[in-house]
Amino acid sequence: MSEAPILKDTARSSGREALQKNIQAAMALSEAIRSTLGPKGLDKLLIDDEGRTLVTNDGVTVLETAKVEHPVAKMMINASSTQDRIAKDGTTSTVILAGEMLQNAWQLVLQGIHPSTIARGYRNAEQYILNCIDEIKLDSDEEMRKTVVKTSLAGKGHASMQQKIADLSLDAVKMVADEDNSVDISKIKLISQTGGTVEDSKVFQGLMLPKKRISSDMAKEVSNGKIILIDGGLEKKNVSTDLKLNVTSIGVLESFRQEERHMLMVQVDRLVEYGVNVLACRESIDDDVKNYLVKHGIQAFRRVSRNDLNMLAKSCGARLVNSITASTPSDLGDFISSNNIAIDAKDFWVVEGEGKAATIIAKGSTVDIVGEVERCFDDSLGVSVQLIEDGAVVCGGGASYVALARRLRRFAETIPGREQLAVEAYADAIEVIVRVLAENAGIDPITTLLDVVAKQTNTDSDRFGVDLATGKPEDMFDTGVLEPLGIVKQALIGATEVAIAILRIDDVLWAKQDMEMPELPNDDM
């Protein structure tokens, strides 16, 4: 039976042609961010439709900002985004690894090896290195953790900036860590400010919001009290329906207003009954009740964003409610202190609750620099969380990838059949990290890789990687170039998954889209 009627409006490529096009798309994406890897990586200048510019070498930012149409390229970007969400670093490595795996797979396809065989070999290689990756890990102490976080910022800003961001990130994560070392990163708030330098950035215990109390007559500081969070306001409500009031006497309108004020006072009385000390609303608080709140010693804040209210709820153990009338005593939260302070002539509200929270004020001299500092903090906080929850680290400079590749080649010798070639191709692929690091530093990549492999083999040590300052193999532990084990593991998992998924595609169907004429305006108008 002919397939023509079914696929009449569909463009199709299949077999080796489809695989070749898919690998070409993946390689094109990999090449686009290849030069950003490592401390010697270069930056990308991104320009959007409105002419706004962004300078960064953050791989996932480049990929997510670029307009990509090819579905395979989108699969690669999704793998990078997943790496960013889980590990917060290694996004560029994931894409480069996947691209190299696919390029090596294509060479095997040209030799007559079926993609399914290559996929099985890649899966065996992945499982093997995940089983033996613990052999190269190191347990970290406090100093090593600072080194690891600083390494994650390599190539982003100058050395003092990297050190400052690393120190603040680790301090913030330790502030919110529970007794079992679990960390909820959503309890860390980042406030960016233009002006000053990165070295002026600070971290504070507690949740800090750029707000001030609605009246200076309210207490500036309150300790050990109850807080209520309203996803609404404490104000007069506008009549929602078309309603006409027929005023027959002078006092009717005033009575109407008095009743509105009375209804607001009743809500405040409920807060007093609950023993509330602090009130935070997403919407406004009517001026008519301001003095009433002051009288009862209630500290009040209005127009607090919903995200901030949710953070307050986590920090203080409160529940967000729609209105005061719908609240119950169980919705209240407890706080240790609620304080109003001024930093650099800006007002802040600082809340310290039982649930722990931390705030980082990130500074930069220009808007562009502040944006890059924010991205640096995003990466360093994610790395810090991994180090607090799991202190395992590995040597950087490509040392861990070379060590795993050496083990894989020995493992490949035990596998019969053509899958052995796929395992060896996988080992070659993960060594690409050393080559790219060398390329971006202006060093010969092949010689560098051979030197690192020889050094690890001759010394029987997994710690040797490429020192980009000298171009020679060095002990990365002694050099202080370390990275979390979780980043390397997730990068390998993500790259393998997307490479295998692309190898298993043997048919690409493109639906043809006909040009559509715009609707003509109605002549009757």
Q: What is the pTM of this model?
A: 0.79
Query: Which residues does 263 contact at the CB level (< 8 Å), separation at least 6?
Result: none
Looking at residue 181, its pLDDT comes to: 84
What does the DSSP 8-state code read for residue 43?
P
Q: What is the pLDDT of residue 525?
A: 41
Identical fold at 10-137+394-511 and 208-355?
no
Helix (H) or strand (E) holding 414: none
Burial class for 123, CB neighbours closer than 10 Å (0-12, 13-18, 19+): middle
Q: Where are the alpha helices (DSSP H) in 275-305?
A: 290-295
Letter string b/e over residues 239-260, b meaning 16 or more CB atoms within 10 A of that residue's CB = eeeeeeeeeeeeeeeeeeeeee
Measured between alpha carbons, how far is residue 192 from residues 14, 197, 203, 309, 314 in Å?
A: 50, 12, 12, 19, 22
Residues with active-site annotation: 58, 91-92, 379
State the pairing for strand pair 320-321/44-47.
Answer: unpaired
141-206+362-390: CATH topology is GROEL; domain 2 (3.30.260)
Secondary structure (3-state) at 86 = helix
Q: What is the dihedral of CA 483, 489, 491, 497, to 10 degrees?
A: 180
Per-domain residue ranges of the chain: 10-137+394-511, 141-206+362-390, 208-355
508 Cβ partners below 8 Å, 6+ apart? Answer: 12, 13, 14, 18, 21, 22, 71
The owner of tokens 């027929």 is: 246
**Statement: 208-355 belongs to CATH 1.25.10.10:** no
Distance CA 426, CA 105 (A): 8
pLDDT (0 to 100) of residue 245: 58
**Tens-level pLDDT at each residue, the chain (525 residues):** 445 555 566 667 777 888 999 999 999 999 999 999 988 988 888 887 778 888 888 888 888 888 788 888 889 999 888 888 887 788 899 999 999 999 999 999 999 999 999 999 999 999 999 999 999 999 888 888 888 998 888 877 777 888 899 999 999 999 999 888 888 888 899 999 888 888 889 999 999 999 999 999 999 999 999 999 999 888 876 555 555 656 666 665 566 567 777 788 888 899 999 999 999 999 999 888 888 899 999 999 999 999 999 999 999 999 999 999 889 999 999 999 999 998 878 899 999 988 889 999 999 888 888 888 888 898 889 889 888 888 899 999 999 999 999 999 999 999 999 999 999 999 999 999 999 999 999 999 999 999 999 999 999 999 999 999 899 999 999 998 999 999 999 999 999 999 999 999 988 776 665 544 445 445 444
The CATH T-level fold of domain 10-137+394-511 is GROEL; domain 1 (1.10.560)
> In the chain, how long is the greatest CA-to-CA distance?
102
The one-letter amino acid code at 179 reads E
pLDDT at 246: 64
Per-residue tokens: 33: 């961010």
